Amino acid sequence: MRIDTVLFDFDGTVMDTNRVIINSWQHTFRTLTGAERPVADIVATFGEILHDTAARFFPHVPVEESVEIYRSYHRNNFGPMISVFPGVRELLAALKERAYTLAIVTSRLPATTMEGLEKYGLTAYFDLVVTCEDCTRFKPDPEPVRIALAKLGKKPEEALMVGDTRNDILCARDAGVKSVLVGWTAAVPEGERTGPDAPDYCIEKAGDLLDILAPASETGPMRLR
């Protein structure tokens, strides 16, 4: 069946939010413990639900308290600390030229998701944005992808999911969607990109996604090679 839909994760895939996420956690650690944590400890949590990570990092602090410390810093510093990954804008434009349906599927709150898309003029590329407020279960559960497909009127075999964490890959797999792991991921080390939970494809640059797909026509959607 022809692939005509691409679902993108937001953090670490379309938008480089690594710095604001790391800094938000370090601010929370300084506030609650008086000391920062190794960056590797924070990167290892990329893709997790914020409340789950906060509960594990600060088991003796009410979750809503630690989450609000994190979110307060995050909200106040989000815009200046984010950027679009190289080549992503050009990839989105190329896919839209080929009549693809594009969506964001993220565990992030809608306010900052839309702030990032609007800041860099990416909103018009996406036909749908699914955030944590649209779901009752979150990645790696397949619900977010299934919600996106249902809203778009698409079948799993018509879609690809592009992400930067193992949760993205597992979410796609369990929803019956092919998965693509980006090479600029900070969350999945090179040695962990194989095995039973491996993505269907890996790309090193944004434009490499086009090389995974063979054109069905000059202007229409593409078929998987």
Asked if 17 and 116 count as a contact pair (C-beta separation under 8 A), the reply is yes
From 139, 4, 16, 36, select the one nearest 85 (Cα to Cα): 16
* From 4, 9, 11, 164, the catalytic residue: 9
User: Which secondary structure element, helix H or strand E, spans residue 50, and what is its range?
Assistant: helix 50-57
From 173, 217, 219, 224, select the one nearest 199 (Cα to Cα): 173
Measure the CA–CA gap between 59 and 207, rounded to whole angstroms.
42
164 is known as an active-site residue: no
Pairing of strands 159-163, 178-182: parallel
Q: What is the DSSP string of 87-154?
A: THHHHHHHHHHTT-EEEEE-SS-HHHHHHHHHHTT-GGG-SEEE-GGG-SS-TTSSHHHHHHHHHHT-
Q: Which residues are catalytic?
A: 9
